[in-house]
Amino acid sequence: MIRKGAIGRLFSRYREEAVLCCILSLLYGALTMHIASTGLLTPHDGLIGAYLGYDNYYRFETAGGVFDISHPFLNLFYVLNRFGFVTIGGESLALGICLTLMTLCTAAGVTATYAYLRRVAGQGRTRSLLVTLLSAGSFTALTLPFTIESYPLSFFLLPLSITVLSVRYKMRGSFGGVTIRWFAFLLGGITLTNVAKPALAFLLEKGTIGSRIRKGAALAGAFSLTVLLVGLLFTYRAAKQGQPENDPRTLAIRMFDFRQGADESVAEYFGHPLLISDLAPARRYEETTLRPTPYRRPWSYIVPLLFLSTVVAAPLLRRREKLVWLLLLYLSVDVGVNVIGGYGMNEAVIFGGHWVFLWPMLLGWIYRSIPRKACRPMDMAVFLFATVQTVHNLSVILLRLHL
C-alpha cells in the first residue's frame, strides 16, 4: 500500500477546514471582484484608493519600504509589492495579487474560528458552522477581503494562534514557550500591540507568578530590540535618501494622530464591526469616502450588548477554564489600547479584525455549559441573528457603492 504524502495526510486530517476555506474564498472573492470592478480600490490623482478610506494600497504602490512603527515587519510586504508586483506587472496585477491575499486571509481567519469550535470547544459540525457565521457575516469580515491593510493578516493569524495554542494546551497541558514566542513575533510584526496577546498566555502557565512575568518580560525585550534594529535600518535609509518624512521618528510621532476618543465607544467599537448602522460619504485624507453613521435606533444597541454579555457570561460559567481566560486576555489588549487608550477609535470599524472572531469562540464555551434542552432555542436565536446580520451588512455595502 502506498503511503499518503504529507499533504495528503494533512488534507485528510483537516478536510472540513479545507473545504470551508475554499467555499469562503470563492464567496468573499466574488464580493471583492464586484467591489474592484467599480474602480473604488484604484488610486486616482495621487489619492488613496479605498472603499472605506483606510486602504494602504497607495502606500504599497508609491512608497515601498517606508518603516511603519505600528506594523514594523510589514515593510517586507511593502518592498515586495513596490519592487516586485508593481515592477513586473504594473498596478493592475499588484492590486489583483494584494486583493487575492486579503481574500484568502479573511477566509482562513473564519476557517480558524470554525476549527476552534470543532477541535477546542467540542461543538458539532452544524452548530460550529452556524456560530461561525456570526464572524463570517460581520461587517468587518465582509469588508476585509477588499481592504488592503494589516487587518486581514491579523484576522487570520489571531484566531489561528488562539486555536493552535488551545489545541496544544488540551493535548499537553501547556501552551508552549516556543509557540507563544513564535506567534508573538509574527502578530507583533504585523500590528505592534498584538505582540502582547500570545505573550499573555505566559500568565496562564504553571509556575510562580514571578517566573511567568519574567518570561513575558524577556519576550517583550527581545521583540522591542528587533523592532529597534529594523527602525534604525530604515532611519539610515531615510537619511541617505534625503526623505525626512520617512524617518521612523517622524512616523512614530504621527502615530498619535490616530489617538481619538469616541462619542459612543460601545456602539463604535463593539457595534459597527458586527452590525453596521449605515454608510455615508465623509471627507477623509483629502478625498470623499464612505464612513459608518451613528446608531439611530435603540434596538441597534442590542448587538454590542449581546457581545458584552457573552464576554461576561463565559468566564462566569467556565471560570476555571484557562482557555476561556486566554480569549479574554486577547480581548483585554484591544480594550486597553483602543477603548481606554483611545488609539485608533477613528478606525474602530476595521479594528474589528482584531476581535470579532472572539464572539463565536466564547459562545462555543457557553454552549458547553448550558443544559442540552436549552441549546436548540439558542441555535434558533443564533441562526436568526446571523442571517439578519449578514443580509443587512451585505445590503449596506452593496447599496452604498455609488454614493
Residue 155: enclosing H or E segment and its boundaries? helix 151-172
For residue 98, being part of any structural domain is answered with yes
Residue 1: the pLDDT is 43
Q: Are the C-beta atoms of residues 359 and 134 closer than 8 Å to each other?
A: yes
CA–CA distance, 378 with 251 (Å, rounded to integer): 48
For residue 2, being part of any structural domain is answered with no
For residue 4, being part of any structural domain is answered with no
CA–CA distance, 141 with 24 (Å, rounded to integer): 11
Residue 111: the pLDDT is 98
- Pick from 40, 56, 42, 32: which is nearest to 281 by CA? 40
- Provide the 10 A C-beta neighbour count for residue 230: 18
Question: What is the average per-residue pLDDT within 122-136?
Answer: 95
For residue 254, being part of any structural domain is answered with yes
Provide the pLDDT confidence category of residue 5 given band limits of 50, 70 and 90.
low
- Helical axes 322-334 vs 358-369, angle rounded to 10°: 150
pLDDT digits (tens, 9 = 90+) for 7-22: 667 667 788 999 999 9
**Where is pLDDT greater, at 161 or 292?**
161
How many structural domains is the chain composed of? 1
Angle at 336 between CA 275 and CA 223, to 5 degrees: 115
pLDDT score of 121 more than 70: yes
Residue 200: the pLDDT is 93
pLDDT digits (tens, 9 = 90+) for 233-258: 766 666 666 655 555 556 555 555 55
Question: What is the average per-residue pLDDT within 303-312?
Answer: 93
Residue 178: the pLDDT is 93
Q: Which of 174-188, 217-231, 238-252 has the lowest mean pLDDT?
A: 238-252
CA–CA distance, 137 with 347 (Å, rounded to integer): 19
Residue 209: the pLDDT is 84
Provide the pLDDT confidence category of residue 314 given band limits of 50, 70 and 90.
very high
- The dihedrals phi and psi of 343, each to the nearest 5 degrees, come to -70, 125
Label residue 286 exposed, middle or buried (CB < 10 Å: 0-12, 13-18, 19+).
exposed
Share of the chain above pLDDT 90, in %: 45
For residue 13, being part of any structural domain is answered with no
For residue 286, being part of any structural domain is answered with yes
- The dihedrals phi and psi of 122, each to the nearest 5 degrees, come to 70, 35
Domain region containing 231: 20-399
Residue 141: enclosing H or E segment and its boundaries? helix 139-143
Residue 64: the pLDDT is 38
Residue 60: the pLDDT is 41
pLDDT score of 400 more than 90: no
Mean pLDDT of the chain: 82
Provide the pLDDT confidence category of residue 354 given band limits of 50, 70 and 90.
very high
**Where is pLDDT greater, at 246 or 266?**
266
CA–CA distance, 115 with 129 (Å, rounded to integer): 10
**Where is pLDDT greater, at 329 or 294?**
329
For residue 40, being part of any structural domain is answered with yes
Bridge partner residues of 289 (DSSP): 282
Cβ within 8 Å of residue 333, ≥6 positions away: 193, 194, 196, 197, 200
For residue 164, being part of any structural domain is answered with yes
**Where is pLDDT greater, at 185 or 235?**
185
